[in-house]
Amino acid sequence: MNVVIVDYGAGNIQSVLFAMKRQGIKAVLSNELEVIEKADKVIFPGVGHAAAAMEKLQKSGIDLLLPQLKQPVLGICLGMQLMCSHSEEGNTNGLGVFDVEVKAFEKKLKVPHIGWNTIEQLQGQLFKGIENESYIYMVHSYYAALSSDTIAVCHYDIAYSAALAKDNFFGTQFHPEKSSAVGNKILENFLVI
């Protein structure tokens, strides 16, 4: 299977690469549009600032390609947030795959939201075989609001989207590559979609 990890200079790409390796997949890192387009599966990671990341995507033309892709695409953390319509982080327009607003946590609780939390109301293929209230690793200061694309819910002060899905597009706010056995199962599920 040809898995391409979008490498646009943002995020902890090495960990995603190693997580694929643990699945027995030798994934390819690339920012070339042709390579991404021909992939069987595309993983779109990201850590850092939304505005800076969008700028990088625009430079490489990935911003236009990604929403057109037909194969399964998995956005992780900031990757998922960038697939939404807009983010309060740097007042940034996203790729608009998911019609969802990304908002800053109000500082009622500690921000960033760091650590292992539970996910619930799990839906669809990505969560096949995953028990309700499984623990996953979260680290973020902005969240995607609940929407009709929400396929998993997390609570931190408010209820928000722990994962989103629409057609061939998937996104997780948490880091499956850092979420131990549960995360590995979710990645395995993505690879067979």
Hey, which residues are catalytic here?
A: 77, 175, 177
Tell me whether residue 63 or residue 177 sits nearer to other proteins (CB atom).
Answer: 177
Least Å from the CB of residue 22 to other proteins: 7
Tell me whether residue 28 or residue 111 sits nearer to other proteins (CB atom).
Answer: 111
Least Å from the CB of residue 35 to other proteins: 20
Tell me whether residue 115 or residue 124 sits nearer to other proteins (CB atom).
Answer: 115
Tell me whether residue 103 or residue 116 sits nearer to other proteins (CB atom).
Answer: 116
Nearest partner of 46 among 72, 101, 84, judged by Cα: 84
Q: What's the rounded Cα separation, in Å, for the pair 130 and 161?
A: 17
- Kindly give, in sequence order, each residue whose CB lies less than 8 Å from that of residue 58, ignoring residues fewer than 6 positions away: none
Eight-state DSSP code of residue 106: P
> b/e per residue, 116-132, with b = 16+ CB within 10 A?
ebebeebeeebbeebee
Positions touching other proteins (CB under 8 A) are 12-15, 18-19, 21-22, 47-49, 107, 110-118, 135, 137-141, 155-156, 175, 177-181, 183-184
Under 8 Å between Cβ of 137 and 108 = no
Least Å from the CB of residue 176 to other proteins: 9
Residue 82: CB atoms within 10 A of its CB come to: 29
Least Å from the CB of residue 82 to other proteins: 14
- Kindly give, in sequence order, each residue whose CB lies less than 8 Å from that of residue 20, ignoring residues fewer than 6 positions away: 3, 5, 26, 27, 43, 187
- Kindly give, in sequence order, each residue whose CB lies less than 8 Å from that of residue 123, ignoring residues fewer than 6 positions away: 151, 152, 165
